[in-house]
Structure formats: C-alpha cells, structure tokens
Structure 1
Amino acid sequence: MVVASPCALIISTPASILSAIGNGAKRGILYKGGAYLEQTADIKVVAFDKTGTLTFGKPEVTDVKVIPLPVSEFVIWSGEENELLSIAAAVESKSEHPLAQAIVNSARSRNIQIPEVKNFQSVTGKGVIADLKDNSVCVGSLNFFDDYDTHHLDSAYKIVEQHQNEGKTSVLVAVINGRKAFIIGIIAIADVIRPDAADVIKELRLVGVQRIIMLTGDNKRVAKAIATNLGLDDFYAELMPEDKVKIVKENKKFGVIAMVGDGVNDAPALSTADIGIAMGGGIQLPLPLGVVGHEGSTVLVCLNGLRLLNFKRK
C-alpha cells in the first residue's frame, strides 16, 4: 500500500497535525515531525535562556574601567582606556558570543584599531584567551580566574559588585603569565529585555504552562532583576552548560519541559529537554529539536509555536 501509493503516508497523518504544522510554518515555526507537535500539548514547564532569548542578545558596552599596572611589565599595555578596549576587542573578535560582539562593536564605534591575535581558545562558560604580540590575554568572567594566582582581584570584585547592582554584566581583561593573571581592566555590558517578553510569559500561563524559569550564566543580581521584572517562577544564575542540563533534568519532575535558547552554550540543555526550541543563530545546531524557530526569530515567535499547546489530536 505504501510502496504503491506514497500518498498513504500523508493520509495516515491526522489532518489536525498537518494543519498545525502548516499554521506553525506561517508563523515562522518549523516542527520536526508531528510527534513533537503532539508533545507540546503537554508542556508544563518552559525554561528560557536569558541572553538573546528574553533579552535582545545585542548588549552594549556601558563602562570601561582601567586598573593601573606598571607599563614596563607588559609589551601590549599602555594603561589607557582605548588600549584596554583594543586588547579586549582583539581577543573577542574571534568569538560569536553576544558579549564579545558588544566589545568589538564598541571598539569599532570609537575607531579603535583591533589587532590580530593568535592561538585563540574558547573556554566554555568562562571566557576566551589568545596571544597578542608577546602576551597571552584572557577576557572572561570572574570564574575564569579560579585556577590562576590573580593579581588585583580584590579591586576587581568591588567594581564587578557595583556593576551587578546596576544590572550590568562585567567582563574582566587580564594578561596571563604562566599561572599568574594580572587584571588590567573591566568592561561593563548591559542588555535590554525584549519588549514582548512579559506578554509572552503571561500568555504561556494562559495556555497551561505552570512553571516558567530562566537559566543563565550571568550573575545572580542581574538574573534576579530580570526574573522579577518578568514575573518568572524561578531563576538559576552563574551556570555552566552542564549545570543547565542538570536543572532541565531536575525540572522534568514538574512535567514535560521545553527549553528555549539562543547561544553557543545552550546545545546540551536544548537536547536534554523534551522539546528544544532554538531561536536565531541556534537553528543551525545539529540537535534532534522538536521545534525550531527561523533565523532572526524573537521570543514572540517562540510563543507562536507554543500557542499550539491547544492542539489536540483528533
């Protein structure tokens, strides 16, 4: 029957599923099969990544703070604000992370030269490191320096805390010499919550989602401010990619869970959830995702897909 008439495959698929898939396509949503679509009817938990999902993912540099060091110690360091931004942008120019792009864009907007680096490495969830002239430079979060004998860490903590109180994310720039790290400056970056995010959260509750959470690698104070603003049930901050996987698994006790993400660190969590929803650049991830948003999609597109929670197979 199937061999003689391939149309039998189409006929065997409930019309309601085909209709829902078609409606999803019109709204910018690709469902990878009817089985995933049916499962969305049972979603009780939605976990959002923060950067690029609940926020625009296009943060901007707000502060550049230099920590003075003896100029003679480092070939690359002149102790100037523009020089700090040049160094950071050089290393971050090899990264696709939104925070990295913010630093590069800031340097370009000031017409600051961005030199070439060598031996670029990305340390997942922590930051990046590369060779610039005769020095190794790392650009990352505080936890990047856990394994180093770090100079000027106390000064850095005070600046980072101030930024956190202002809802900003801090990126530290340091010169590496063996197992020693010399922090030369801190760059503050702020992102903006998507204007449609709050409405999406409200409507998700109307279609039956009982628990809405946020997972982020950002610090607790920034995460709390955003979670409170959006009325989320809970938030988890300062996470590594493996931490997100663990939390997704833990939240499965509340029911079927969907993970919504857009970032280089979200792949494991997206594939761990019952339904993985990739937004923006994340659609290229080679994952068995149930729902995939198109390039440039927003959190509103995510909602358009989950609105089909009302779908029931007939």
Structure 2
Amino acid sequence: MMAPPAATDGQKPSLKVILCSPRGFCAGVVRAIDSVERALALYGAPVYVRHEIVHNRYVVESLKAKGAIFVEELGEIPDTDAPVVFSAHGVPKAVPDDAKSRNFLTFDATCPLVTKVHREAEIHFRRGKEILLIGHAGHPEVVGTLGQLPEGSITLIQTIEDARRYEPKDADNLAYVTQTTLSIDDTAEIADVLRERFPAITIPHKEDICYATTNRQEAVKKVAPLVEAMIVVGAPNSSNSQRLKEVAERSGSKFAALVQRADDIDWAKFGSITSLGVTAGASAPEVLVEEVLDAFAERYHLMVETVAAAEEDVFFPLPRALRPPQAAE
C-alpha cells in the first residue's frame, strides 16, 4: 500500500479525520510541567528532575533547552543548591528521604491522583490488610506505589491469570488499588476476578484509574468503529498512550499506530484510507497533534470533525512552595 504523493488540493485524495476529545494533556501533566517551569523561573537553571517529568520526548527536550537536567536517580545529582523536582509518576518514599539527607531543595510534582492511590495503600496497610496492586511491573508509577510501604507489603497483579492464581493469607482481609493509567476494560476484568474469588475484598473508595485516562479511552471507543485507522500521538513508554492504541484496536479500528510525532508515521500503512481517527496520550502536547495533521494535509484533502466523550475542567494547583504568593495563601 503506497502513500499518495504530495500534490495540489485538486489532486489529493479526500480523508475524513475524526479528532477525539478530550485528548492530550491532562491536569496532572500540566501541573508537572508547570512545576519545572516555575522552578526555573524562581531559581534559574539548572533544575534537576528525577525521571522524565512526563513520558514525552518533545516535552523533555523542550524543558532541557530551558535548563532542566533529567536524571534517573538522585545519585547522579552533585551536591547542589539547585531545585530537584520529582516527576508526575510519583516516587518511592526512599527517594525524598534520600533527598532530605542530602539537603536538596525538592518539589513534588506527583499527580494528585497518584498520591490518592499512595494514601489508599497506606490506609490499608495501617489496617493490617493484604494489599494487591493492579498494574504493570517496572512502570515508574508502580515502582513509586510499591515503594510507599515496606518491601513485600504489596503484591503486584498484572494479568487475569495473576488474579486467578493469587492465594492470600486471609481471604477476608484483602484490599486492592490500581495504577492510574491502565485500560479500563482490562482492569475491570482483573478486578471482577478478584471480587468473584474474594467477595470481602476492599475496593477503591473511588475508581483509581484517573478521569483523564477514562475520558480519553471513552473517546477512542466512540471514534474507532467509525474509521479505518487510528493514530495515537504519544511516547512508547507512556502507559496511557499504549492503552489508547490497544483500545482503538479492540474497538473496531482496522489499524492503530502509536507515533511520537509526524516523522514516525509509516505512510505505506495509511496510503489508501479514507477515514482516520486521531487522539493523543495525556502527556502529549497538542502541537504534536497539529504536526501530524499537517503531515496528512500535505498528502490528503482533510475534512476534520471532532467527537467528544466528556468535558474536562479539572485543575490541580502547583506545589505550595512554587505557587505565586497570592495563590499560596
């Protein structure tokens, strides 16, 4: 399947593009990026950031250009008076403890919805419950949640098979929490198995999967059956972006591609389509969506419409120490 060459409008094939709404940045991502930029404005460069502030190469490179230095571990940071920002994904408790021992000036940009999961896990622990975490091994958010409690206090459940095999010490004393960026459907299936096997299990007081993940997946479910192909703008290490691709494939789109930006598009796979859905993960800026649309506009005559699943008006304030004086009161 070959892509049509760029040509004048009269020669371009038509392509119906359906934009998913909402898409792109969520309130937690905006807060995290703003935290780094505010720290740069207040203290100047450099500002150290532990792990990618959000999983998007474009965002990270933009912040690097402004003076942010990204590290994976605090040990990479020299003795310094420069600020250190923790990423939106959250960190194990050992990280701020280490930072305090080294007298670092730190700001925690953990998404408040991730912090909510941390607090839930701590409450279950204080009540003596066995805690299960539905999530993906190695994801920074999962590493951070596991690290809130002593090692071995939380058991990671990644699959339905894990849920079926798990044998608790006391089936009447269980609780589960979840990673915030999972597939709604996958998580529901795993949770259903746990609730069926252990009717007394304590479930999250409010759904742990965040509003942004839910809304973006619902929009994809609406659009995918209407189009031949879907593009998800996002990073390969972004859990919520990967889940959007999976949801698109399950929901009726014949083909779905995850791309970081327009240069990643494999045009041979899109050549003969007449309809396309476009969304973006919660850490992908809208400028990259526009870049993808511009690339398609060079090859097709676009007819663009939007399908909305929800309206979002969520706002998370900056960490208190980074807020302007009037906002911190």
TM > 0.5: no
What interval of TM-score do these two structures reach, taking the shorter chain for normalisation? 0.3 to 0.5
With a CA cutoff of 8 Å and minimum separation of 6, indicate the structure with the bigger relative contact order: 2
Higher strand proportion (structure 1 or 2): 1
TM-score with structure 1 setting the length = 0.34
Q: TM-score, normalised by structure 2?
A: 0.33
